[in-house]
A and B are shown apart, each in its own frame.
Chain A
Amino acid sequence: MTGVRTLLIALGLAAAAVTGVLAAGEGTAPSPAFRQWPGECVADAPFMRRNHMDLLKHQRDDTVHGGIRPANHSLNACVTCHAVKGDDGHPVTVADSRHFCRTCHDTTAVRVDCFSCHTSTPGVAK
């Protein structure tokens, strides 16, 4: 009896864990550069996956209209920290499908025009 219960609990836990993992990876083609990013994101990964667009738009208005420029929140900060190196060792641009901002967008058919104005490569590497 206890054996069965343990088994059920174990199965339940396993299922939950699998679902959790799946949920965490939802819509994400794991980027090859995952984990190579230094430091911490501006918020935790699940939140970012779901809310980065609102965050960016909010930040955009705060910066452009209010001159509020918190560290790490600018679009260029995102692409700087999330830079993905190409074959030549230099960070790739959005023209390359490996670019961080395309990893999920390409699979979910989201199109953003941000990089027609904003540079898609790290700012420090002028």
Chain B
Amino acid sequence: MKDVKTPPSAEGRGDTVSRRSLLGAALAAVTLAPGITLYAGPAAAAADGAKRWGLLIDTTRCDSGCSACVTACGAEHGWSDAGRARPDQAPQWVRKVDVRDPATGRTASLPIMCQHCAKPPCVDVCPTGASFKRADGIVLVDRHICIGCRYCMMACPYKARSFVHEPVTGQRPGSPRGMGTVEACNLCVTRVDAGGRPVCVDACAGAGRSAILFGDLDDPGSAISRRIREVAPARIRDDLRLDTGVYYQGI
């Protein structure tokens, strides 16, 4: 998709930035485009324990023919090229899933990525502590201490993680990744730390759908919290009580 390849436009991120500026968060760096950062300005302590970042996905605005979020994520983090890997070995930070209710015939299409659980099973099982949850709720793999045991992939109910099956070259500067470690959606931490929002959110808006809303779940006044109160969205496998940070409206 053409509009996805171009960097998210400045106006696309406007409201988030101003809202965060109001909160007094000085920007650590000026992000010109994904991965392109001017190293200037003061340091910011970004992972804020008073926040919990999450997503609300409006599946009624999502379409099975569209994969703008997937394409944009692949370009942002440099995982679109599967190289020699078979399809079932290919990197998969986010995927589009089609759901059909056999009883009613109703269908829905939605992206599934790391659900950024409050009680993430991957973190519990990781032997080295490489899987961890940041203070602001983002679940990550510290790939400096990941030994590639893949137990987290066994434990994740969402199949959100993938293993890097072969040597990687040409990584994006802002998103290092390499063979033998496990990776997943990182909610675009680099962008979030710079006051931005995940690239999938912008790509979805760029595709004219605006089905993904990003924001602070712990702030009752945030747009995402208000919408969640309004539409009472569902969460995938809520019965497992993992308190996921990704909500789905309309399923």
Q: Are A70 and B176 in contact (CB under 8 A)?
A: no
Please pick, from B41, B46, B167, B172, the residue contacting A71 in the complex, using a CB distance under 8 A: B41
Please pick, from A68, A77, A118, the residue contacting B46 in the complex, using a CB distance under 8 A: A68
Please pick, from A67, A71, A116, A117, the residue contacting B29 in the complex, using a CB distance under 8 A: A71
Tell me, yes or no, whether B73 is within 8 Å of chain A by CB: no
- Closest residue of chain A to B46, judged by CB? A67
Q: Are A65 and B142 in contact (CB under 8 A)?
A: yes
Q: Shortest Cβ distance from B108 into chain A, in angstroms?
A: 33
- Given the known interface contacts A71-B29, A119-B172, the answer about A66 and B41 at a Cβ–Cβ threshold of 8 Å is no
Please pick, from A64, A72, A117, the residue contacting B168 in the complex, using a CB distance under 8 A: A117
Instruction: Give the size of the chain B interface in residues (CB under 8 angstroms).
Output: 39
Q: Shortest Cβ distance from A91 into chain B, in angstroms?
A: 12
Q: Are B29 and A123 in contact (CB under 8 A)?
A: no
- Given the known interface contacts A117-B177, A126-B35, the answer about A70 and B43 at a Cβ–Cβ threshold of 8 Å is yes
Residues on the B chain within 8 Å of A117, using CB: 143, 168, 171, 176-178, 181
Among A67, A116, A124, max chain B CB count under 10 A is at: A67
Among A66, A68, A72, A119, max chain B CB count under 10 A is at: A119
- Closest residue of chain B to A70, judged by CB? B43
- Given the known interface contacts A64-B142, A117-B168, A117-B178, the answer about A71 and B43 at a Cβ–Cβ threshold of 8 Å is yes
Among B10-18, B90-98, B132-140, B218-226, the one that faces the other chain is B132-140
- Closest residue of chain A to B174, judged by CB? A123
Which parts of A43-77 form the interface with B (CB within 8 Å)?
Answer: 60, 64-72, 74-77
Q: Are B39 and A72 in contact (CB under 8 A)?
A: yes
Q: Taking chain A's interface residues, is the majority helix, strand, or loop, or is none over half, making it mixed?
A: loop
Instruction: Give the size of the chain A interface in residues (CB under 8 angstroms).
Output: 22
Q: Are B173 and A69 in contact (CB under 8 A)?
A: no
- Closest residue of chain A to B142, judged by CB? A64
Q: Are B35 and A67 in contact (CB under 8 A)?
A: no
Tell me, yes or no, whether B118 is within 8 Å of chain A by CB: no
Residues on the A chain within 8 Å of B176, using CB: 75, 117-119
A35 to B222, CA, bound (A): 49
Residues on the B chain within 8 Å of A72, using CB: 39
Tell me, yes or no, whether B242 is within 8 Å of chain A by CB: no
Q: Are B144 and A64 in contact (CB under 8 A)?
A: yes
Q: Are B28 and A71 in contact (CB under 8 A)?
A: yes
Q: Are B46 and A66 in contact (CB under 8 A)?
A: yes
Chosen A-B contacts, 9 in total, with CB atoms closer than 8 Å, are: A64-B140, A68-B46, A69-B193, A71-B39, A71-B41, A117-B178, A118-B176, A119-B176, A126-B36
Residues of B participating in the A interface, judged by any CB pair closer than 8 Å = 28-29, 35-37, 39-47, 132, 134-136, 140, 142-144, 167-168, 170-174, 176-179, 181, 189-190, 192-194
Known: A71-B43, A77-B39, A126-B36. 8 other contacts (CB 8 A): A66-B47, A67-B46, A67-B192, A71-B41, A76-B174, A116-B179, A119-B172, A124-B173
Shortest Cβ-Cβ A-B pairs, 3 listed:
A123-B173, A67-B46, A117-B178
